[in-house]
């Protein structure tokens, strides 16, 4: 199951549509790293609203992806972690340390816009 990645201005939005295998997750990571370069994106949102299980592999891969993309110059925000998924993650000891998470797509976009403004101010 491939994850569709939409380009919206400076941002990329990947919304996971169905249960992903390990291989699908790795493909998403590589695809995002590639497109961030191709489109010179400054921000990436990964929407996991429909994800019903976030196990150790999925967590680790999302974390790696966020860190990789930061090294490529784009800020990543994970949005839409469901309450019961969050509970299971905490029990497992998965905290997505060093990764920005927001409630939903709207909050994620607001966050990226604020980051952009901050960056622009610094550049002046």
Partner 1 sequence: MKTATEVQVSIRSDTDIVIARQQARSFAAQLGFSGTDLTIIATAVSEMARNIVIYAGNGEITIEAAQDGAQKGICVIARDRGPGISDVARAMEDGYSTVGSLGLGLPGTKRLVDEFHVVSKVGEGTTVTIKKWRR
Judged by the rule CB under 8 A, the positions of this chain that interact with partner 1 are: 19-23, 52-57, 59-60, 82-85, 87-88, 91-94
Q: Which is nearer to partner 1, 25 or 109 (CB)?
A: 25
Paired strand residues for 46 = 14, 78
Cβ 104 to partner 1, closest distance in Å?
19
Q: Which is nearer to partner 1, 25 or 112 (CB)?
A: 25
Cβ 30 to partner 1, closest distance in Å?
16
Cβ 35 to partner 1, closest distance in Å?
23
- How many Å separate Cα 25 from the centre of its chain? 11
The C-alpha angle with vertex 66 and arms to 120 and 90, in degrees rounded to 5, equals 125
Collect all residues with Cβ–Cβ distance below 8 Å to 71 and sequence separation of at least 6. none
Paired strand residues for 8 = 11
């Amino acid at each position: 199951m491939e994850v569709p990645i939409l380009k919206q201005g400076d941002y990329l939005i990947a919304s996971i549509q169905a249960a992903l295998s390990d291989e699908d997750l790795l493909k998403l990571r590589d695809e995002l790293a590639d497109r961030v370069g191709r489109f010179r994106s400054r921000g990436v949102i990964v929407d996991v609203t429909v994800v019903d299980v976030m196990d150790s592999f999925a967590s680790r891969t999302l974390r790696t992806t966020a860190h990789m993309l930061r090294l490529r110059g784009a800020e990543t925000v994970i949005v839409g972690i469901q309450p019961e998924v969050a509970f299971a993650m905490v029990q497992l000891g998965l905290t997505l340390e060093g990764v920005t998470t927001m409630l939903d797509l709207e909050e994620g976009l607001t966050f990226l816009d604020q980051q952009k403004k901050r960056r622009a101010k610094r550049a002046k």
